[in-house]
Amino acid sequence: MDEFLGCSDKVRPRFVRETAVRNADVNAQEESPSEVSESANAENLNQHVSHDGLDEAAPTAMAAESQQESEIIKLLKAQQEAITKSEEKDQKIMEAMLKFQEDSEQRHQELLVSVLGKIVDIFAAK
């Protein structure tokens, strides 16, 4: 920490947040995955700090964040298009089913009329 304070007169909140907190137990052999990632983040942040104290990671982080947002937007648009196509397909299938049902009812009515006509002919012949 003294080395960091030697090159900057203020402690950055981001550096403090990303600095790994170690166990006081010296005998502990394993580090938790969060401690490893936090220490890696802190090391990456230290690498991106220039000698004059300006943070060069901010534009890179903003660009990465912007890229993530654009990828998410692309995924959401693709999902919306897929939903729209699916709804159109469902509508066409429903129309086909209704047409089939209508045709079936029409054929059933024609058959019923034909059968009733035959029955009338049978009773009329007697």
Residue 79 banded pLDDT, cuts 50, 70, 90: very high
- SS3 state at 108: helix
Could you tell me if 42 and 18 are in contact, meaning their C-beta atoms sit under 8 angstroms apart?
yes
Beta carbons within 8 Å of 49's beta carbon, 6+ residues apart: 55, 56, 57
pLDDT computed for residue 1 by the predictor? 47
* HSE-CB for 89 with a 13 A CA cutoff: 6
Highest mean pLDDT among 33-37, 55-59, 66-70: 66-70
Return the higher-pLDDT residue of 66 and 28.
Answer: 66
The pTM of the full predicted model, rounded to 2 decimals, is 0.42
